A and B are shown apart, each in its own frame.
Chain A
């Protein structure tokens, strides 16, 4: 094994332990725990057995294993960015709701909650 392979394997093992710990502490949902297990596992397998990436590349019709890995990584990153964007939208909405609540409370507007309070149009995650 090359030095790079050893370093990556060590990092993958570290990441796996952190993922398991996070799941045990309740900070990671089961679905995402399994997703990250697969991600780290796949990285570890590809690094230790580079020929697996070539097999995957042939399977999906791409020339080289490293190209397939890059394409998968880019798709994965786009999805992560999309999720982060949704999260940010949600946070922005919550900040505005909080600021609104404070302004209405401090402004002394009648705090009766009517049957027609604004609909919550929080962006769906």
Chain B
């Protein structure tokens, strides 16, 4: 069974189209409505997604954790995390799942490869900084530690022990991959950068706050 986990916060503009685009490729789409104040849940449900709603906003990490629990309970063999803002392409899902289906990987991370001119400089700096910090803290170098497109097999879903509620969850996933000795394959993907999708995701301020939180968590053990 293959499922998509789609965290969404105030994404009524895009979640319907995104959920509808991935629905034919998987057995179920779990949209985690993270305390949205717009019609995200209604739109997602109309597009054929199974919606799980947080009564209050808890953050990307909390939404992903809810999706992982839902995937486990549904008995998923493969779970793909997929952004609701239209940044990811549905056609990348088969390529993401392929290494798992031939048992070459437990986790597949989508690595954004894009012309330098497309990704804003600040976003590129945040990505490089995120990769470097993730490597320094957790000992695993990945080409795109902050990518939201990931695939997990059943073993990885059962092994992951996540605790971060906010955007630092991306680095925590890398930490878990390393700590639990999960087999990792990185697959190149081409993100879709629109004005809307660029307005989402990590700004420099959020990136700095995420880095500070990761450092603090490391110190606190």
B 64-103 to A, binary, CB cutoff 8 A, 1 in contact else 0: 0110111011100000000000000000000000000000
| Chain B count of residues within 8 A CB distance of the other chain | 28
Is there contact, CB below 8 Å, between A99 and B161? no
Q: How many A-B residue pairs have CB under 8 A?
A: 75
A 80-120 to B, binary, CB cutoff 8 A, 1 in contact else 0: 00000010010011011001101110110111101011110
Interface core residue of A89, A93, A103, A119 (most chain B CB under 10 Å):
A103
A124 in contact (CB, < 8 A): yes
**When chains A and B are docked, how far (Å) is the Cα of A37 from the Cα of B220?**
28
Is there contact, CB below 8 Å, between A100 and B66? yes
Q: Point out the residue from B52, B54, B69 that lies within 8 Å of A117, measured CB to CB.
A: B69
Q: Quick one: closest B residue to A100, CB to CB?
A: B66
State the main secondary structure of chain B at its contact with A.
Answer: mixed
Which B residues touch A106, using CB under 8 A?
52-53
Instruction: Report if A104-B70 is in contact (Cβ < 8 Å); known contacts: A118-B161, A119-B161, A121-B161.
Output: yes
B32 in contact (CB, < 8 A): yes
Instruction: Report if A116-B158 is in contact (Cβ < 8 Å); known contacts: A103-B52, A103-B55, A109-B70.
Output: yes
CB distance from A103 to the nearest CB of B (A): 4
CB distance from A23 to the nearest CB of B (A): 29
CB within 8 Å of A: which B25-52 residues: 32, 50-52
Which B residues touch A121, using CB under 8 A?
161-163
Instruction: Report if A110-B53 is in contact (Cβ < 8 Å); known contacts: A96-B65, A99-B58, A99-B62.
Output: no
